[in-house]
Copies of this chain bind each other. A is one copy, B any other.
Amino acid sequence: MSEIPQKPFFSHIISLRVRYCETDQMGTFYNSRALEWFECGRTELLRAAGVCYAKLEEDGFFLPVIEAFVKYLNKARYDDLLEVKTSMFMEGRARIKMQVDISHRESQKPVVSGYTIHIFTNRSGRPIKPPQFFYEVFRIRN
């Protein structure tokens, strides 16, 4: 699709430590935790852009995940300090893609890389258009 932007609308980096409860008996993080870290990354990306996702839901706008992809590249152990880089793209005018790259903060060795795709829905799960201010915040041509 020609409308897909070449550059992200917004990128943001956070740090987090692997919690003990996120490890499994293989000694690294359990695979599903990556999606929870993706969530931390996008919450803070939105906040950095001026959008409080908790407020968005209060106003009746929800951003459920409709697709997720994760590539597991290297181990990360309990207490390791990770860097989560999230980049937001629009796919067309209603789908949001959050590309996430997680790496060890010091060595920059990659840990996981992937994305989630989101659509806006109302409280009952029906797809709706993004709120007007969302276009403005991210300077998307409406």
User: What's the number of copies of this chain in the assembled complex?
Assistant: 4
Chain B residues near A116 (CB-CB < 8 A): 31
Is A25 located at the chain interface by the 8 A CB criterion? yes
Q: In the complex the two chains form, what is the Cα distance from A31 to B69 in whole Å?
A: 12
Q: Which of A26-73 contact B (CB under 8 A)?
A: 26-28, 30-36, 39-40, 43, 52-54, 57, 62, 64-72
| Chain A residues touching B, majority SS | mixed
How many chain A residues sit at the interface, stated as a range, is: 35 or more
The yes or no answer to A20 lying at the interface (CB within 8 A) is: yes
The answer to whether A32 and B25 touch (CB under 8 A), given A54-B78, A72-B66, is no
Query: Which of B40, B65, B70, B78 is close to A68, meaning CB atoms less than 8 Å apart?
Result: B70
Chain B residues with CB below 8 A from A54, complex form: 77-79
- In this assembly, does A93 line the interface, its C-beta being within 8 Å of a C-beta of chain B? no
Chain A residues engaging chain B, CB cutoff 8 angstroms? 17, 19-21, 23-28, 30-36, 39-40, 43, 52-54, 57, 62, 64-72, 75, 77-79, 116, 125
